[in-house]
Chains A and B, each alone.
Chain A
Amino acid sequence: MAMLPEFILLSLAFVILLGDLFLPKTTMRQWGALLALLGLVGALGSLLLLPQDATLLGGRFVMDQITWWFKLVFLVAGLLVVGFSADLLSGRIQDQKMVLDSAAEFLAVILFTLSGMLYLVSSRDMVTLYVSLELATIPLFVLTAWSKRDELSEEAGMKYLISGALASCFMIYGLSLIYGVTGVMELTQLDAEYATHPLVWVGLAMVTAGVGFKVTLVPFHMWAADVYQGAPTLVTAFLSVASKTAGVGVLFHLYIRVFIELIPDWSPVLAIAAFVTMTLGNLVAIVQENVKRFMAFSSISQAGYILMGFLGPTQEGVVAILFYLLVYAVSNLTVFGVIILYSSSTRRENISEYRGLSRTHPGLALIMMLGLFSLAGIPPLSGFTGKFFLFSAAAKAGYYWLVVAAAVNSTVSLYYYLRIVRQMYIEAPDGSEVRVQMSWMPRMALGLALIGTILLGVVPVF
């Protein structure tokens, strides 16, 4: 029973695929997104109702409170992205060039990758971990290259595939080294006595490199800008939230569940990685013109903040990471929701093309501003609360220099987030007629994301 959310997603994916095969061509275009949305609500409901402690398959599939929270983040991200996708799949948008082909397959692939992510955080041995990580990653290559009309999409798909496959090579080689020292596949049975073995260190470093690719830690972030820019905007939104959360899930496995004894030794390295990641992401984001590229660097810097939570092996660090993942998911998807809706009606992707959005679409501009402020960490929005927990976790671990650096970085990030707000609120519109249309599903998804962004900051969750 503990696997019910995964089963719902997988069977739904097959129902959508087979339904597309046997029903008239337009049925899934019109109703597929609604079906997927209902299925995701069902999976979310089963996650909320099922007990939070369960062990299946001889300890290879485990459900606990932390796993439960990760699954919640994945399902919320999936729910919002599928909500945004409704108009793009059904073709009820102005610009027919932005319509995504093969609606049923698109939804099925999204559901497959989501089920891979859900399995990933529950897996407790190397084989399941590896296979579910690939189940979460390979469909993302397909999604990135989805748009056949857009040559940037193919290019992004190729770059993502090559760097992703390279990262998984490093990861599997590192896992094989850890297996070579310990002789066991179950992550729960790795003994502390092996933790100081040099080969385990090499293996762990290689796995971190492979996973750092997914989390976009500097120096493994090179792919992010091109892939985020080239992929269809909907896929970029999904990548930036779900794929990053999956990577953090694997890091969490390794550093907190398995090799917790290593944290005092590794934390200087992690602290430097966090510092470099947030600083580089922030500095490069300042000069970006394309809004998707801009969001890529913004999300790189957010990965740096998340890494701060790993520094202290304390209860606070774990809670801070988990809370910030949900905050990041809703805030980032609030911003991306507006980007998706705006670009799907107007095909505008440059920051300067957001000028005067507050006159033409005051609601969208307000929502986007709140999302950006939450990412920047302005109280009382959720981003502030999340960053506060992360910073205090790092401070408790004694990394005061990192907390200062992160605070300075937050200020820098406010500057570039305000660049978009300035375009929307201070610059005059360029006079061309723009109309952003949306049906009830994107409206609802945007509203939910916004409510999450505000409520998580105001209502104490922990």
Chain B
Amino acid sequence: MIDWLAAHAPTLKHWLILSSALFAIGLYGVLARKNAISVLMSIEIMLNSAVFNLIVFNRYIAPKGADGQVFALFVIAVAAAEVVVGLAIFVTLFNRRKTLDVTQVAAMKD
């Protein structure tokens, strides 16, 4: 079993397929989900696919340095800040309108 797994270890190509699948799933979620919090979660999935990319490229393309991993940490930290601001805005929005459905929030029309 161990030998079989070692012989079929995933390569860079497989990891990239996984990360682009994650990106596509996140993008679909942003476009299709109606609840604002689900949209924010989908955005997090997209960010994580980029983080994933950075770590994988660090491992396979530039294994000498740790640039990709450091960048990944920064992305995670900044994403946390983004979510904090997002949730704060959603809370004020929910207090007034009692809904977080993004299709209902359309007071401004052409």
Contact = CB atoms under 8 A, between A and B. Distances in A.
Nearest to A169: B46
Contact of B36 (A151, A162, A172): A162
B88 to A, nearest CB: 8
A236 B77 CA distance: 28
Given A131-B78, A158-B105, A169 B43 contact: yes
B42 to A, nearest CB: 9
B43 A226 contact: no
A162 B62 contact: no
A185 B81 contact: no
Interface string A123-154: 00011001100100010011001001001101
A185 B71 contact: yes
Secondary structure call for the A interface = helix
Interface in B45-81: 46-47, 49-50, 53-54, 56-57, 61-62, 67-68, 70-71, 74-75, 78, 81
Contacts, number: 117
B86 A165 contact: yes
Contacts of A154: 89, 92-93, 96
B32 interface: no
B25 interface: no
Contacts of B46: 166, 169, 173
A183 B50 contact: no
25 contacts: A130-B71, A130-B75, A131-B78, A138-B85, A152-B108, A154-B92, A154-B96, A155-B93, A156-B108, A158-B89, A158-B93, A159-B105, A161-B85, A162-B36, A162-B39, A166-B43, A169-B26, A172-B47, A173-B50, A173-B53, A176-B71, A179-B54, A179-B62, A180-B57, A183-B61
Given A155-B93, A158-B102, A169-B46, 5 more contacts: A152-B108, A154-B89, A161-B86, A172-B75, A185-B71
